[in-house]
């Protein structure tokens, strides 16, 4: 029993090389998005604020004249205002009424003499007056995903099927989760909307909670996406291969299909499909298809259709490692650089068998940076996920940090941090967010202290926000001053196969119930049970009844 989302590349099976079909699909998608945006704007302009007051009024249509005025603006002017109002309308729909008003005032300083512009400004002012401050910034949920399964059949029959089933989410599931959260009134915010470092009354810099101003009934939440690297092991197992900028300047995915060596795995090796490689050892691409195969383009399209899902333009935070490069580009000198003498003297003691030489590494570094810049312009943020997906602490004490004291117990901690600083930070620009791999934190839940060596080190290289994994609905911790300027720490909830299956077999607990109905969302293409979830005494044939 398998089902595919309409956006899954699998549903275009056999058309990977047929550009025309892809073009028609793209055109249809563009028309659909344009229609949705149009409808969205129309709804925004026509929406009457509740509790109508005398100074409230709905937006007049741009062509309509105010009472007593008979003069129509000339058509060039009217269309200029249309564009301005459309753009400012999106800003206003994202609850940034000051930004929307500013856009109008900056573009048309004498806007008060233009009826539709002054009406727009009045409307923004009225809506702003109805915003309320989110009552408690420690009561904000933070959800995260990994790169999405684009082809369920491939992923759940691959050598990594159990891992994917546990920690990944499918496109179909992601779309349904977004629909549900939007319907429940959730609105995306960034970590810096919750708290940021600012100057206190005594002149010191302190991490400080920020007011989040939303209409009543709306609920802020944070989203992050881990490991958007399109790791080598994921090749040909049903995932996108990279993010690219398309001809319209939008960030979309490419999925490569690689040539597999047949017969597979006859050399006794375990692992993924054996791919044909070129003279440098790179896998040979058979064909490439473009589309919205992962969180970034899917969420961009969703917010374009529903700007009121985003607070001041916020999207998600992308957590990046460095060892396989970033965003699908093989950018790491350590892993893909030319293995000349300088490289050998510097790195060879850590060489692994998955390394090959990428002769396009400089061009790929530039492309990765361009994609990151385009994403930032669309409201995305980036975070460190450590260079080598390094587990900071383990319960058995074998991590690189002693969780109880924060003492650095393995030099790999500094080495890894250094590599992230040189290999990743220059591509994505500055960030002060660290998302711990495996959720493994550098301190206990009690909070970081002024003697936590790992925390002080991470502060010294610029990190102020620290995210672990926690099953609590909301877990937020703030210090104004520890380590100088304090920190914000947040637990995150994995919306993946494990958590959804846990919810399915424990319908009376709240695991993801507050966000969506798991029976509607859980992808039936998944093998069940999801390994690792206790199903003792559960009737697995009645999960969806
Ligand atoms: Zn990770």
Task: Find the 53 Cα to ligand 1 centroid distance in Å.
Answer: 51
What separation in angstroms does the CA of 31 have from each of 6, 28, 34, 56, 304?
A: 16, 5, 5, 34, 13
Sign of CA dihedral 339, 361, 425, 178: negative
Task: Find the 328 Cα to ligand 1 centroid distance in Å.
Answer: 15
Which pLDDT tens digit goes with each residue over 506-526?
999 999 999 999 999 999 999
User: Residue 350 has which token pair?
Assistant: 């850590």
Judged against a pLDDT cut of 70, whether residue 424 lies above it is answered with: yes
Task: Find the 532 Cα to ligand 1 centroid distance in Å.
Answer: 18
What does the DSSP assignment read for 8-67? -GGGGTT-TT-HHHHHHHHHHHHHHHHHHHHHHHHHHHHPPPSS--TT--PPPPTTPPPT
Q: Identify the helix (H) or strand (E) that includes residue 291.
A: strand 285-291
Higher pLDDT, 159 or 373: 373
pTM of the model: 0.84
Mean pLDDT of the chain: 86
Mean local confidence (pLDDT), 400-412? 93
The rounded percent of the chain whose pLDDT value lies above 70 is 81
CB within 8 Å of 296: residues ≥ 6 apart? 225, 228, 243, 251, 253, 316, 318, 375, 380
Q: b/e per residue, 165-190, with b = 16+ CB within 10 A? A: bbbbbbbbbbbbbbebbbeeebbbbb
Which pLDDT tens digit goes with each residue over 207-265?
999 999 999 999 999 999 999 999 999 999 999 999 999 999 999 999 999 998 754 55
- The answer to whether residues 281 and 190 touch, using CB atoms and an 8 Å cutoff, is no
Q: What is the pLDDT of residue 24?
A: 54
Residue 286's φ and ψ, nearest 5 degrees, are -90, -45
Judged against a pLDDT cut of 80, whether residue 431 lies above it is answered with: yes
Mean local confidence (pLDDT), 286-308? 98
- Find the range with the poorest average confidence among 65-74, 231-240, 243-252, 423-432: 65-74
Q: What is the pLDDT of residue 261?
A: 78
Higher pLDDT, 394 or 142: 142
Mean local confidence (pLDDT), 112-126? 96
Which pLDDT tens digit goes with each residue over 22-50?
455 555 555 555 555 555 444 444 443 33
Judged against a pLDDT cut of 80, whether residue 9 lies above it is answered with: no
Task: Find the 324 Cα to ligand 1 centroid distance in Å.
Answer: 13
Q: Identify the helix (H) or strand (E) that includes residue 342.
A: helix 341-347
Task: Find the 107 Cα to ligand 1 centroid distance in Å.
Answer: 44
User: Residue 457 has which token pair?
Assistant: 């080190």
Q: What is the pLDDT of residue 275?
A: 86
Task: Find the 49 Cα to ligand 1 centroid distance in Å.
Answer: 43
Phi-psi region of 282 (alpha: psi -120 to 50; beta: other; left: phi over 0): beta
Q: What is the pLDDT of residue 43?
A: 45
Mean local confidence (pLDDT), 109-131? 96
Judged against a pLDDT cut of 60, whether residue 353 lies above it is answered with: no
Residue 206's φ and ψ, nearest 5 degrees, are -140, 145
Task: Find the 386 Cα to ligand 1 centroid distance in Å.
Answer: 9
Task: Find the 402 Cα to ligand 1 centroid distance in Å.
Answer: 20
Judged against a pLDDT cut of 70, whether residue 69 lies above it is answered with: no
Q: How many alpha carbons lie under 13 Å from residue 485 in its C-beta half-sphere?
A: 17
Judged against a pLDDT cut of 70, whether residue 395 lies above it is answered with: yes
CB within 8 Å of 280: residues ≥ 6 apart? 356, 357, 358, 359
User: Residue 165 has which token pair?
Assistant: 């089933």
Task: Find the 389 Cα to ligand 1 centroid distance in Å.
Answer: 6
CB within 8 Å of 61: residues ≥ 6 apart? none
Judged against a pLDDT cut of 70, whether residue 8 lies above it is answered with: no
Which pLDDT tens digit goes with each residue over 320-341?
999 999 999 999 998 898 777 7
Mean local confidence (pLDDT), 150-161? 93
CB-count burial class (<10 Å; 0-12, 13-18, 19+) for 51 = exposed
Q: What is the pLDDT of residue 93?
A: 98
Peptide bond connecting 529 to the previous residue in cis, omega within 30 degrees of 0: yes
d(CA 154, CA 30): 28
Task: Find the 543 Cα to ligand 1 centroid distance in Å.
Answer: 29
Task: Find the 470 Cα to ligand 1 centroid distance in Å.
Answer: 14
Q: What is the pLDDT of residue 379?
A: 98
Which pLDDT tens digit goes with each residue over 469-496?
998 999 999 999 999 999 999 999 999 9
Judged against a pLDDT cut of 90, whether residue 354 lies above it is answered with: no
Q: What is the pLDDT of residue 20?
A: 44
Task: Find the 434 Cα to ligand 1 centroid distance in Å.
Answer: 12
Task: Find the 398 Cα to ligand 1 centroid distance in Å.
Answer: 18
- The answer to whether residues 355 and 335 touch, using CB atoms and an 8 Å cutoff, is yes
Task: Find the 227 Cα to ligand 1 centroid distance in Å.
Answer: 5
User: Residue 330 has which token pair?
Assistant: 């093989």
Q: What is the pLDDT of residue 334?
A: 87
Residue 95: count of CB within 10 angstroms of its CB: 24
The rounded percent of the chain whose pLDDT value lies above 90 is 73
Peptide bond connecting 263 to the previous residue in cis, omega within 30 degrees of 0: yes
Residues in the chain: 545
Task: Find the 416 Cα to ligand 1 centroid distance in Å.
Answer: 15
């Amino acid at each position: 029993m398998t089902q595919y989302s309409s956006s899954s590349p699998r549903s275009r099976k056999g058309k990977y090389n047929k550009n025309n079909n892809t073009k028609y699909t793209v055109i249809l998608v563009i028309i659909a998005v344009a229609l949705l945006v149009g409808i969205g704007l129309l709804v925004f302009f026509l929406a009457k604020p509740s509790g109508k007051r005398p100074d409230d009024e709905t937006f007049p249509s741009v062509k309509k004249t105010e009472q007593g005025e008979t003069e129509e603006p000339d058509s060039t002017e009217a269309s200029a205002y249309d564009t301005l109002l459309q753009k400012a309308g999106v800003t206003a729909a994202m609850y940034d009424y000051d930004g929307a008003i500013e856009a109008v005032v900056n573009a048309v300083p004498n806007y008060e003499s233009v009826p539709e512009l002054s009406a727009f400004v009045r409307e923004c002012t009225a809506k702003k007056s109805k915003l309320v401050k989110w009552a408690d910034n420690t009561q904000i949920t933070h959800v995260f995903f990994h790169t999405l399964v684009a082809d369920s059949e491939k992923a759940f029959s691959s050598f990594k099927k159990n891992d994917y089933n546990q920690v990944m989410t499918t496109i179909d599931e992601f779309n349904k989760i977004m629909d549900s959260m939007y319907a429940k009134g959730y609105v995306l915010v960034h970590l810096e909307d919750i708290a940021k470092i600012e100057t206190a009354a005594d002149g010191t810099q302190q991490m400080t909670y920020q007011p989040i101003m939303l209409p009543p009934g709306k609920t802020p939440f944070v989203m992050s996406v881990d490991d958007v690297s399109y790791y080598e092991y994921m090749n040909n197992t049903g995932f996108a291969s990279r993010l690219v900028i398309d001809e319209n300047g939008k960030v979309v995915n490419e999925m490569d299909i690689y040539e597999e060596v047949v017969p597979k795995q006859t050399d006794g090796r375990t692992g993924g499909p054996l791919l044909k490689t070129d003279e440098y050892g790179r896998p040979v691409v058979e064909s490439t298809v473009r589309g919205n195969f992962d969180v970034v383009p899917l969420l961009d399209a969703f917010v374009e259709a529903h700007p009121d899902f985003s607070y001041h333009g916020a999207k998600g935070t992308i957590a990046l490692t460095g060892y396989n490069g970033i965003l699908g580009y093989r950018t790491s000198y350590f892993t893909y650089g030319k293995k000349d003498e300088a490289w050998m003297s510097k790195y060879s003691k850590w060489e692994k068998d998955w390394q090959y030489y990428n002769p396009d590494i400089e061009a790929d570094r530039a492309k990765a940076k361009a994609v990151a810049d385009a994403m930032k312009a669309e409201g995305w943020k980036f975070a460190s996920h450590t260079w080598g997906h390094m587990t900071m602490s383990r319960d058995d004490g074998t991590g690189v940090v002693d969780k109880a004291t924060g003492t650095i117990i393995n030099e790999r901690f500094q080495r890894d941090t250094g590599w992230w600083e040189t290999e990743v930070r220059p591509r994505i620009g500055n960030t002060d967010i660290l998302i711990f791999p495996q959720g493994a934190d550098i301190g206990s839940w009690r909070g970081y202290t002024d003697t936590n060596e790992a925390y002080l080190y991470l502060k010294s290289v610029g990190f102020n926000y620290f995210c672990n994994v926690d099953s609590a609905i909301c877990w937020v911790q703030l210090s104004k001053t520890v380590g100088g300027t304090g920190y914000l720490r947040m637990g995150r909830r994995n919306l993946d196969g494990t958590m959804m299956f846990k919810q399915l077999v424990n319908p009376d607990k709240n695991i993801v119930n507050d966000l969506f109905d798991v029976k509607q969302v859980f992808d039936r293409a998944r093998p069940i049970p999801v390994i690792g979830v206790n199903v003792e005494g559960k009737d697995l044939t009645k999960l969806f009844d």
